[in-house]
Structure 1
C-alpha cells in the first residue's frame, strides 16, 4: 500500500500524500511528513485515492452497481471543504464556516469549535448561553485543553456546565483537542441530545476530523511564518536602500557646500522634506504618485549636479498614479540610469520614465541613451553584490519584486553597448491594494516634463 501511495508523487503534492498515509495509519507517515511539508496543501486528492481502492482495481467484470465509485468518507469530505477556510488560520470566521460544514456532513445535533479560552463557533441545538466570543464554561472542555486527550462525555452532569436554570438539550458529547505543533490550540465538540454512550462511528469521526483540522491549522501557521519571513526579508532589503539613497544625495550636497553654500542649503532643505515624507510611509507599498515624488527629489538633486547634461522625460498616464508599487522601486532604476548610463557619456543624456497598462499588468520602464551595458556584464547586474559600493540598487529591487509577486516578476533589462539601456518593471494589477487615498494631498511637486517623445 505504501508503494502504491508513493507512486502518486508525480501527480499530487507531498502533503496530499502525507494526509493519505496518515488516514491509512501507516507508520511511515511521519517520515513522509518531513520530506513533503513544504508543498501546497489540498485534500481533493482523496477523491483520486478512491480509484486505488481494491474495489476499483479489480480486472473482473462488475455489475452497474459495482462500477459506481464508493461514497466519499465524511472525514475526507469535511477536510476537503474546510481547507479553503482553515488555511487562513483559526478564528471566529473560519471556525463558523468549519462548524457549518461539519454539521451538514456529520449530521450531528450541535457542533462547537473553541480556542483555548473562548467559543469561536457554535451551531445547532442548545441554549442561548452558547455564543461565539463567550469564555469556555464546561469543565470537560477545560480538561481536554489541559491534558491534550479527547474525552467522551455521556451525561449532562459530566459536561459539568456551571449554567443552571436553562433548557439546554445537550446531554452527551465527544470533545477532541485541536493541536498545532503538539500544542493544544482549541477543541472540536460534537454533541448529542440523548445521554449514554456515543456511537463508535461518531467518536471516530470526531477524532478523524480533529486530526485533519489540526493538520490544516498547522499548515496555516507554516504559511503565516513563511509570510513573516518574506516581510522580514523585505524589511532588510528596504533598510539597505534607504541609506544607499541617502549617502548618494549627501555626496552631492557636500560637493556644493564647497562651491555654492546657498545651493547646498536649499538642497538640504529639499532632502529634509523628502525624509519627512518618507517617515509618514508604512508598509512596503506606496502609490505610484508617491514613488514619483521620491524620484523627483533625487532628480532635483542630480540636476543640481549635472545641469543641462541631464534631460528628464516622463510619459506616465495620470490614471495610473494611484496604483500601488513597492517602495523605492523606480528611484534605484533612475539612479542607475544617471550614474551608469548618463554620467560616463559625453554630451547630453536623456532619462525617460514611462508607465502603462499592458496585459493586466502595470508596466513601468526607465530608459536612458547612455553608454549601455556590455554583453558580458548584462547577466551579472542583477546579482546581489555586483558592482561598486554596497551592492544594493538593481539587485535589491529585483529581489523585492520577486518576493512580493513571484519569480516571474523580477526586473528585465535590455541594453546595447553604446546605445543605452531600458529596464522594465511589471506589477500584476490583480494584486493591487486599496487606492482610495487620492493624490494632490501635500507631498512634493512633480518635475515638469519636456515631452513624451524622446
Structure 2
C-alpha cells in the first residue's frame, strides 16, 4: 500500500481536528494545529514502521495464487516407471524403477527382488546387498511365501542372518509382494535407517506402489505373450510357404533325372544351397540383398522347368540392399507371377521387381505382363485358402505383413486381364550396419536379367 495514502489521511484528520477544536472549544488555532499534527504524525510513523509491513506480508502470503495441487508420489512413480516395467521384471528394469522411487519417495533405501534374488538395491547399505545376491532376510522370505504385506520396526525384526556381525544401517522396513496374475513374482521393500514405527504415509506409499507395479508387470507379461503368439503365427506361415516352393522344385528336378542327369545334379546343388540358406536363418527378417538372391536362385530353378518362357528384371538401387524386410516376402510373389501370370500367357513374358525409398518406407512392386486376374477373382486372392497358387502365396505374405506392421501394411493388388498384375508392398525401413551384410550373395542393382 502506498504510504502517501496514510500521510494524506493524517493531514486531513489534523485539519478537521484543528477546525473542531478552534470552533467548538475556542482553542487557539496555532496551538491546536501543532498539537494534532504531532499526535497524528507519530501515529503515521508507527503504522508505517511497525504495523503495516507485517499485515501486508500476511495479506500477500494469503493472496498468493494457488498453483497446481501436489502430485501423489504413487502416481508420479507409476508414470515414470511404466516404460521400464513394461519390458518385464529383471535387473535392468528393477534398477531404473528403484532409482525413480528413491528420487521421489523420502526413504532410506529401496529394494526390489524376484522370488529368489535381489534385482536392485539403492540407498543406505546398498553395498551389502548387490544385485544378483540371494534374498537373506527372513522377513522378505515370509512375504514371498504368504503374499501378505509385512511392516518391520526393528533391525532384529528383519531377521537377517548377518545381524550379529554386519553393521548394516537398515533398521525398519515395509515389505510388499509383487504379483502377476495372482502369482507372487517378487517384493518391493522401502527401508528407513531409524528403528520405530514407520510413518503411515510410507506404508500406504509402499502398498500403492506394489499394486501399480504389479499391474505394470502383468501388462509386460501380456505383451510378451502377444509377441510369442505373433512369432508362432509367423513361423507357421513360413512353414506353409517353404514346402509349397520345395515341392514344385523337386518335381522339376525329377523330370530331369532321366533325360538330363547332369542338369538334374546342378539343380540339386542349387536346391541344396536354398535349403542351407533357409536353415541358416536365425531371424524372421533378412536383408533385401539376401531376399533378392533367394529370388534369383528360385528363378534359376524355374528356368530349368520353363525354359525361355520368361525374363526377370530387377530395378533396385544398390543403396537399398542393406534394408531389412520379413523373410520370404518376395519369392512367393514372384512364384505367383510366374506360375499364374506368365505360364498361361501365349509367348514369353517378363517379371520385374522394383524398389524405391519413400517417406521412411521401402516401397516394392512385383509386376508381370501376364494374363492378369479378373475383377471377380482379384477381390478373393488375398483371402486364406482361396484355391492353390496365388491364393496361398499372396494371402500368406499379406497376413505376415499385417501381423508385423498393422492392417494398413497389407498387400495392394492392381491387375488387368490380358495386361498383367502388380503387387505392391510397403516395409518400414530397418537398415543393417556397414559390414553386417547377411549371406546370400550380392544382387545386381538395376535391370538384371535372368536369361
Alignment of 1:256-271 (within 5 A): 256-271=256-271
User: Equivalent residue for 2:238?
Assistant: 238
SS in 2 for 1:88: coil
User: Equivalent residue for 1:93?
Assistant: 92
User: Equivalent residue for 1:363?
Assistant: 363
Whether the aligned pair in 2 keeps the contact of 1:127 and 1:168 (CA below 8 Å) is no
- In structure 2, how many angstroms separate the alpha carbons of the residues matched to 1:409 and 1:208? 41
- Please give the per-residue CA displacement for 1:281-313, whole angstroms capped at 9, x wherever unaligned: 112111112111211111001112222221111
- In structure 1, how many angstroms separate the alpha carbons of the residues matched to 2:155 and 2:441? 69
Whether the aligned pair in 2 keeps the contact of 1:357 and 1:363 (CA below 8 Å) is yes
With 161-170 and 108-117 compared, the bigger mean Cα shift is at: 161-170
Whether the aligned pair in 2 keeps the contact of 1:174 and 1:190 (CA below 8 Å) is yes
Which structure's residues are more often helix, by fraction? 2
With 153-162 and 282-291 compared, the bigger mean Cα shift is at: 282-291
What is the deviation of 1:261? 3.0
- Please give the per-residue CA displacement for 1:306-352, whole angstroms capped at 9, x wherever unaligned: 22221111111122222211111100010011011111111110011
- In structure 2, how many angstroms separate the alpha carbons of the residues matched to 1:66 and 1:188? 38
Whether the aligned pair in 2 keeps the contact of 1:150 and 1:175 (CA below 8 Å) is yes
- In structure 2, how many angstroms separate the alpha carbons of the residues matched to 1:180 and 1:162? 29
- Please give the per-residue CA displacement for 1:198-231, whole angstroms capped at 9, x wherever unaligned: 1111111100000000000011001100000000
Cα separation, partners in 2 of 1:95 and 1:127, compared to 1, 3 Å: closer
User: Equivalent residue for 2:72?
Assistant: 73
- Structure with the greater alpha carbon radius of gyration: 2
- Please give the per-residue CA displacement for 1:388-426, whole angstroms capped at 9, x wherever unaligned: 269521111111111112211111111111111111121
What is the deviation of 1:116? 0.8
- In structure 2, how many angstroms separate the alpha carbons of the residues matched to 1:433 and 1:81? 32
- In structure 2, how many angstroms separate the alpha carbons of the residues matched to 1:356 and 1:216? 41
1:118 correspondence with 2:117: yes
Structure 1 residue runs of 4 or more that deviate by more than 3 Å after TM superposition: 63-69, 431-436, 443-452
SS in 1 for 2:128: coil
Cα separation, partners in 2 of 1:349 and 1:64, compared to 1, 3 Å: farther
SS in 1 for 2:376: coil
Q: With structure 1 as the length reference, what TM-score do the two structures score?
A: 0.81
Cα separation, partners in 2 of 1:210 and 1:270, compared to 1, 3 Å: same
Cα separation, partners in 2 of 1:435 and 1:323, compared to 1, 3 Å: farther
- In structure 2, how many angstroms separate the alpha carbons of the residues matched to 1:85 and 1:332? 39
User: Equivalent residue for 1:158?
Assistant: 157
Between the two proteins, the alignment pairs up a number of residues equal to 387
- In structure 2, how many angstroms separate the alpha carbons of the residues matched to 1:253 and 1:294? 18
Q: Which runs of 5+ in 2 are unaligned?
A: 1-61
Q: Which runs of 5+ in 1 are unaligned?
A: 1-62
User: Equivalent residue for 1:291?
Assistant: 291
- In structure 1, how many angstroms separate the alpha carbons of the residues matched to 2:392 and 2:204? 57
- In structure 1, how many angstroms separate the alpha carbons of the residues matched to 2:432 and 2:404? 13
